[in-house]
Amino acid sequence: MRQNNYPNYPKGSEWRKWDLHVHTPYTKLNNGYGGNSDVWDRFCDEIEKSDISVFGITDYFSLDNYFLFIENFKRKYPESEKVFFPNIEFRIDSKNKDGDHIQLHVIFSNSLEKNKLEQFLTRLRLVSTDDSNLTNKYCTNNDLSEVGYENAMVTLEALTNQLKNDFTEEEYIIIGVANGYGSLRPGKNNDGRGAEYAKEIDKICHIFFGDEDNIEFFLNKKSGRKQYNLPPKPVLKGSDCHSFEDISSRLGKFFTWIKADPTFEGLKQIIYEPEERVRIQENNPEYDFDKPNFSKISITQPLEVFNGEKVKFDKTELPLNKNLVTIIGGRGTGKSLLLNYIANTFKKSILAYQNKDIRFNESEHFAIEWQKSNTPQSEKITFNAKDKGDLDFIFIEQGKLKNISDYKILANEIKKLLKIENLQFDEKLDKEIKELLDDIKKLKEWFEYKNEKGEKINDRQFNESKKQEAENLLKTITTEDNKQKLEIYTSNIKTINNCENILKRLNDIKNSLEKFQADTNNTINNVNSDIEKEINDLSIPKIDFESQTNAIKIIEEKITTIIKDKKEKNNEIKKEFERQGYKGDLETLLRSAEKYQKDIQDAEVKLKEIKEKEKQLKEKNHQRNNLADKLKDEYERQKNEIENAWYNLLSNFSEEQRKVISKVLERRGISINGIIYFDLKKFDEKLKEYLDLRTYKNLSQDLEISSLDDYWNFIKNTLQDFIEGKDVETTKKPLEDLFFNLHERKNYLYVIPEIKFMDKKLEQLSVGQRGTLYLLLQLATNTFSSPIIFDQPEDDLDNEFITTELVGLFKELKQYRQIIISTHNANLVVTADAEQVIVANNNIETLTYISGSLENSEIISSVCKILEGGIDAFRKRERKYNIKI
């Protein structure tokens, strides 16, 4: 049983159920437990089996039953983890002529000696509802029995004076009653329970007993204490059990969640952080928000941190809190080193460690446990430094904020934050552009092709001339006698040539179909294999071109018959020439006729092909000119994607989460828009490589390009003149490459986030402002999921920003994400109310780490000793809540 020895809770402040208002058997008033012989055993059993971690054992004007309970509970459950505090319930003279009273509770440290508490009671003077001037009666059993517990009261002055005389401020806490029987209930005038007296009582109360209805008033909301310029105070809900029936119906149902060590110092912490550390609700606030987190660091044996260096981690195990974890320590104690070693385990560290020649000793003995979600039974994964791992979290190494100075680098970092780091020019469109330009190039090369004689055989004029020449030659061998036979002969030759060309094309089609069928069916087989894994009875049918190949076979047979027929007819024509006694060289005549007819036919085919190619080239050139629209649309798409990412960042959260995002970003004038950035200066630098500088002195000005719109118009209407028109001779290199080659274009035309911070554009910000902006965006991005590890924020940020901004942000954001920092700034530890403090030490090059909460006396001592301003930070927090007894 946790009682007088100060416990150690290395994970720091965690949520537990507390009930500080439970009366014991034989409570002095309203005892409903009965007097059976087993009453204490039964009561102890009920306490032990409940899910309450911390109890206030309560009685009126007395601690007798508290000590009797402790004795019985220790006897029965010596190993219990339950924690108990003595709670004395006093009735305070209300200064009301009707003799009514106000209830106050005083919770004492459970480390106080019994006799010290009893002496306090013997010195506390009583007054009575029957005689307010009663003297020489004190809080002893005899005097209380004589006066009557139901009539006994003390004055507020007597109680507070005696507490000050007998105890330090660290040894007790006063709790008022916010509503119900014995509450303040100030009247409207001095005849009732006066408002001034209620304020006087309020001043001396650290905490109030109440319920959900009181929280808004006491937690400094506009409609509550704030209007009276009063500090917030925590409200605790208790069961106020007076019987076993109460225990059955109220214990474990009327309670308060408190985020603190289950110690008296832990209870005191809620005075300073009432909004952060207290919840009245059914479910554990630990699980209010899903936030994956690092749950444990294990170093299973001492290990050298660096290869060949003496410094080493000692064997240790550090459970990690899910909220704000701070690592403190003197120079060289390994606080930053631990964070960088963690980052290196996930391939995020920029080191070795500040020295390129020193490498981490990546050991399997350094393990990090990752909890996938924030649920009681969350799945966990363990990573080790040797095998490494991939994990989505943010790591800001020491000095990074100062090193982000180039606004383009920062813009790319912000793309990562918005999860659009892969935003780039569309690969399909780039391929389409390349294919289009390649098609145009091939078409131009086709027109310019020369045979071995140097003839442009794909030139229109060349083929028209060739056709005319063949027609003229055919006329020279044609006479009245042979005209009819030659015409038939050459017509047959033409048919034969056409048919042979058809056969060749049919064969090409057959080969293409066979290849397409084989390639496609292979792809279908692969896809079907994947489909079968998910769906048993469905698949893609294979393709075949049976109908096409059958048709081709029939056509080939008919074409072959035609060729055979025409050749036979030409043989008959040849024999007829011979029968008629043709006197000339018949073989030469027919060969010449055949050749001339073939030349005519070849020229006609080529001219037809040229016409088709000219049509294609014209269409391709038109498509190239219209690339301006496609390029513009693509850059607009990237711009919109940035803006949508920003919109989603601000919109896809609950109302409460959006308020947090708003605090981080919008209230500081931070906004992000996509911008298509056309760098005219760099564009001019590139133009020098492409244009004849003797012709173009002013580069982009001469091309009439001074804006992005001019750029698109130039592509659409003018660029063609520099590619194949009147201005082509004024270029040194193909100008189309500057506009259409992505690797050239990206030097002067790209899409970036246009960021504004305090109404300034990114390029107008100082280095310090850029660092601050980067940090704020890091904090806001993935606010409700991935952890952030930050190595020494104070090295990059001024103290005013830390005090006025960062502390508050950490207090807000730690609800939604785990934050782990190393620091030597007391405000980031104390004022930000870190749930866990890890103290780093270096003992002869051996690094050790201990951890605990801000309510742990050893941790408090370390904070005050190590951190400059540590003591002042604690005192400042106490002054903030203006607790004066």
- The predicted-structure confidence for 4-37, as pLDDT tens digits, reads as follows 444 589 999 999 999 999 999 999 888 999 878 8
* Contact present, 89 and 60 (Cβ < 8 Å): yes
Residue 785 pLDDT greater than 80, yes or no: no
Residue 192 pLDDT greater than 70, yes or no: no
* Residue 722: both structure tokens together: 């520099």
Q: What are phi and psi of 417, to 5 degrees?
A: -65, -35
Q: What are the Cα distances from residue 316, in Å, to 225, 299, 362, 851?
A: 47, 5, 17, 11
Q: Which residues of 177-197 are buried (b: 16+ CB within 10 A; e: fewer)?
A: bbbeebbbbbeeeeebbbeeb
Q: What is the mean pLDDT of residues 545-565?
A: 93
User: In sequence order, what DSSP letters do the residues of 188-214 get, joined into one string?
Assistant: SSTTSS-HHHHHHHHHH-SEEE--HHH
Residue limits of CATH 3.20.20.140 in the chain: 15-287
Residue 116 pLDDT greater than 80, yes or no: yes
Cα atoms in the Cβ-side hemisphere of radius 13 Å centred on 744: 17
Pairing between strand 846-852 and 312-313? Answer: parallel
450: which strand partners? Answer: 456
Residue limits of CATH 3.40.50.300 in the chain: 293-393+786-805+817-872
Percent of the chain residues past pLDDT 70, beyond the cut: 91
Strands ordered across the beta sheet of 380-384: 316-319, 293-299, 366-371, 380-384
User: In sequence order, what DSSP letters do the residues of 493-534 get, joined into one string?
Assistant: HHHHHHHHHHHHHHHHHHHHHHHHHHHHHHHHHHHHHHHHHH
**Residue 476: which residues within 8 A CB-CB, separation 6 or more?**
none
More confident residue, 868 or 508: 508
- The alpha carbon of 332 is separated from its chain's Cα centroid by a whole number of angstroms, namely 32
Q: What is the mean pLDDT of residues 859-874?
A: 87
What beta strand segments (E) does 724-870 contain? 749-757, 760-761, 788-791, 819-822, 836-843, 846-852
Burial class for 533, CB neighbours closer than 10 Å (0-12, 13-18, 19+): exposed
User: In sequence order, what DSSP letters do the residues of 379-443 get, joined into one string?
Assistant: -EEEEETTT------EEE-TTHHHH---HHHHHHHHHHHTT-TT--S-HHHHHHHHHHHHHHHHH
- The predicted-structure confidence for 362-384, as pLDDT tens digits, reads as follows 899 999 999 998 888 889 999 99
Residue 191 pLDDT greater than 50, yes or no: no
- The predicted-structure confidence for 23-77, as pLDDT tens digits, reads as follows 999 998 889 998 788 999 999 999 999 999 999 999 999 999 999 999 999 999 9
- The predicted-structure confidence for 646-684, as pLDDT tens digits, reads as follows 887 777 677 777 777 777 776 677 888 888 999 999 999
Q: Helices in 535-625 by DSSP H: which ranges?
A: 546-579, 586-625
Question: How many angstroms separate the CA atoms of 864 and 875, rounded?
Answer: 11
CATH numeric code, 293-393+786-805+817-872: 3.40.50.300
Q: What is the mean pLDDT of residues 262-279?
A: 92
Q: What is the mean pLDDT of residues 755-763?
A: 80
CATH value of 15-287 in 3.20.20.110, 3.30.300.30, 3.20.20.140, 3.40.50.300: 3.20.20.140
More confident residue, 761 or 633: 633
Mean pLDDT of the chain: 87
pLDDT at 136: 78
pTM of the complete model beyond 0.85: no
Q: What is the mean pLDDT of residues 759-782?
A: 78
Reported confidence tier of residue 437, pLDDT bands at 50, 70, 90: very high
Q: What is the mean pLDDT of residues 850-863?
A: 92
- The predicted-structure confidence for 688-697, as pLDDT tens digits, reads as follows 999 999 999 8
More confident residue, 777 or 209: 209
Question: How many angstroms separate the CA atoms of 749 and 677, rounded?
Answer: 6
* Residue 670: both structure tokens together: 């931070």
Helix (H, G, I), strand (E, B) or coil at 669: coil
pLDDT at 560: 93
- The predicted-structure confidence for 383-424, as pLDDT tens digits, reads as follows 999 998 888 888 988 888 877 766 667 777 777 777 787 788
Residue 94 pLDDT greater than 80, yes or no: no
The count of other CB atoms within 10 Å of the CB of residue 746 is 11
pLDDT at 220: 64
pLDDT at 4: 45
pLDDT at 193: 46
Q: What is the mean pLDDT of residues 562-575?
A: 88
Q: Helices in 50-137 by DSSP H: which ranges?
A: 64-76, 114-123
Reported confidence tier of residue 582, pLDDT bands at 50, 70, 90: low
User: In sequence order, what DSSP letters do the residues of 726-766 get, joined into one string?
Assistant: TTGGGBSS-THHHHH-HHHHTTTEEEEEEEEETTEEGGGS-
**Among 734, 719, 744, 743, which Cα is nearest to 622's?**
719
* Residue 264: both structure tokens together: 């008296």
Q: 95-104, 242-251, 749-758: which has the minimum mean pLDDT?
A: 95-104
Percent of the chain residues past pLDDT 90, beyond the cut: 54
